[in-house]
Amino acid sequence: MLPDASAPPPMQLPLPLTLPTARPQPPPPTEVATRPEQVWGSLRPEVQARIRQVWLTVLREVADDRRGC
């Protein structure tokens, strides 16, 4: 249903007159340099063994593929 044209318009709420203060920009992320040896040493022995097994499987597949060429 359409509003009555003779009805007064709805009252607008007052807007704040003060401008919001700008927030300071967050500091840029710091780059952390981690050597591969540190990452490898931080892994559990089971995870290291699984990664070695996956790499060995990949290398075997690549070698087998090269023999087929």
pLDDT tens digits, 14-60: 777 676 677 888 888 888 889 999 999 999 999 999 999 999 999 99
How much is the pLDDT for 45? Answer: 97
Say if residues 41 and 34 touch (Cβ distance below 8 Å). Answer: no
Q: Residue 67's pLDDT is what?
A: 83
Q: How many CB atoms lie within 10 A of CB 32?
A: 5
- Per-residue model confidence (pLDDT) at position 22: 79
Split at pLDDT 50, 70, 90, the class of 2 is low
The span from the CA of 9 to the CA of 22, in Å, is 35
Alpha-carbon distances of 49 from 13, 20, 26, 31, rounded to whole Å: 67, 56, 41, 29
Choice between 9 and 47, residue whose per-residue pLDDT is larger = 47
pLDDT of res. 3 = 63
